[in-house]
A and B are shown apart, each in its own frame.
Chain A
Amino acid sequence: MRRKIILALGAVALPLLLRNLYVIMFLVPDEMEQGPIYRIFYYHLPAFFTAALCYLTAMVTSILYLVKKDQKYDAIAVSATETGLAFAAVNLITGMIWGRISWGIWWAWDPRLTWALICWLVYFGYLMLRSAIDDPTERAKNSAVLSIFASASVAVTWKAIEWWRTQHPGPVLSIRTGGVQKIDPAMEQMLYVNTVALLLLGLIFVLVRLRQEEVQREIDALRRYAHAMN
């Protein structure tokens, strides 16, 4: 059943991604000041949305795990964190490539960039901690606690670095600017369409990863069983 859902989602997501790539490369107009480079933005921002949603899911399921002590939530938390890291990497690296052209430098110690990097490091630490603990219950509990700690810190860091300095372009989407149209409506619409595509892809990754966690648990159980038979 799960397998069929994943395949169905894939059948929707892949054509959508390819179609979006075609539209982004050939159909949308160039931005006046930046030229073609701005097209990176169609992946940069949706990747951020996906990553942020993944981090949020990880936080919620970590809290749920501590409340309910159900391994299911732990599995969702790790799947979401890992997928979030993949999309955050897309967000970071496309941003760096854009910065090389627009700012002339690969990296600026700007709040959003710094924050994204810190997030990446924090959640990478979460995966490292997981891989170091063998006992499943202990691993689930300790990493859930770390995940809650991490998300609290990440939330505060956001504020901290905003006061520190700002260089990154501000919000352009009309939902963030209070209805003021800062970019061409065709561009904004395309951005939402690609966000949907990347979110679908993210969902597929999470579901596949989730199944792997379940298979892993089955393997562990079989190992114990085989061991007990000896």
Chain B
Amino acid sequence: MTMLRHAAAIASKDLRSEFRTKESINSTLSFSVVILLLFAFAFDPSPDMIVEFGGGLLWIVFVFAGALIVNRAFARELPNDCIDVLVSSPASGASLFLGKATAAFVLLFGIECICLPVFGILYNVTWWRNLSGLLGILALGTWAMACVGVFISALTVNLRLREVMLPMLVYPVLIPAILPAMMLTNTLLTGQPIPSDFMVWLRLLIGFNVMFTTLSVYLAETVLVR
């Protein structure tokens, strides 16, 4: 219980400082919109085409945005050695990790919710026909990204090349979560419920989340406390 309370305190601290400076929200949001725009130039999609690769396109935008967000998760604490203070505080490594991941999740999910209407307008897609399902899949995929991303950003925080290193390490590990998220988003964008043969993808996505959340919480202490 204490662990969750500490995690909530850290998450709210992160979110508060982010909403005051808005440094990563603004840059990530504009970056995502620019990518959505560039894809329209690259493919000049017709309505049939966008049904086929809309989910993939959205998730590519989201993973790019995700790399920017999770990169800040621990890098934010580097000036003034805040990270040492956090580590030596009563909060355990696991709650520190959970708090950071929750904050990244909230930021990313917010950005995704803004990207969806922009995507709908630019590509002429009626994306809200199965809204609850779509938001559910977004939440699951985003948690996978936040969890793995924040964890690996804790590994790379002290490196000089961390901006390059982080996506290179995160993306291949994230493939088994992003692949089902893309497939499911594709079908949900058409407004149909998830077909029964796609349930295996949903299970995979949930399984990935459970597995990696457990693993990260378990290993967080080892990584953070030196």
A interface vs B, CB < 8 Å?
66, 118, 121-122, 125, 128-129, 132-133, 138, 141-142, 145-146, 148-150, 152-153, 156-157, 159-161, 163-164
Q: How far is the CA of A66 from the CA of B211 in the complex (A)?
A: 19
Given A125-B168, A152-B212, A156-B211, is A145 in contact with B175 using a C-beta cutoff of 8 Å? Answer: no
Q: Identify 8 residue pairs between A and B in the complex whose beta-carbon atoms are under 8 Å apart, listed by A's number.
A: A129-B165, A141-B223, A146-B155, A149-B148, A149-B151, A152-B211, A156-B176, A156-B204
Could you tell me if A133 and B159 are in contact, using CB atoms closer than 8 angstroms?
A: yes
Smallest CB gap from A121: residue in B:
B172
Task: Report A-chain residues with C-beta under 8 Å of the C-beta of B226.
Answer: 138
Could you tell me if A125 and B155 are in contact, using CB atoms closer than 8 angstroms?
A: no
Could you tell me if A122 and B173 are in contact, using CB atoms closer than 8 angstroms?
A: yes
B121 contacts chain A at the CB level, 8 A cutoff:
no
Size class of the B contact interface (CB-based, 8 Å): 20 to 34
Q: Is the interface of B mostly helix, strand, loop or mixed?
A: helix
Task: Report A-chain residues with C-beta under 8 Å of the C-beta of B40.
Answer: none
Smallest CB gap from B219: residue in A:
A145
Could you tell me if A129 and B175 are in contact, using CB atoms closer than 8 angstroms?
A: no
Q: How far is the CA of A148 from the CA of B151 in the complex (A)?
A: 12
B 146-169 binary contact with A (CB < 8 Å = 1; else 0): 001001100110111100010011
Could you tell me if A128 and B165 are in contact, using CB atoms closer than 8 angstroms?
A: yes
Within the complex, which residue of B152, B160, B172, B200 is in contact with A163, where a contact is CB–CB below 8 Å? B200
B99 contacts chain A at the CB level, 8 A cutoff:
no
B66 contacts chain A at the CB level, 8 A cutoff:
no
Given A118-B175, A122-B173, A157-B176, is A149 in contact with B152 using a C-beta cutoff of 8 Å? Answer: yes
Given A118-B172, A149-B173, A159-B204, is A129 in contact with B155 using a C-beta cutoff of 8 Å? Answer: yes
6 closest Cβ pairs, A-B complex:
A156-B176, A153-B173, A160-B176, A121-B172, A125-B169, A122-B172
Task: Report A-chain residues with C-beta under 8 Å of the C-beta of B201.
Answer: 163
Q: How far is the CA of A219 from the CA of B160 in the complex (A)?
A: 24
Task: Report B-chain residues with C-beta under 8 Å of the C-beta of A141.
Answer: 222-223
Could you tell me if A132 and B159 are in contact, using CB atoms closer than 8 angstroms?
A: yes
B215 contacts chain A at the CB level, 8 A cutoff:
yes
Q: How far is the CA of A145 from the CA of B172 in the complex (A)?
A: 16
| Most chain A Cβ neighbours within 10 Å, of B160, B173, B222 | B173
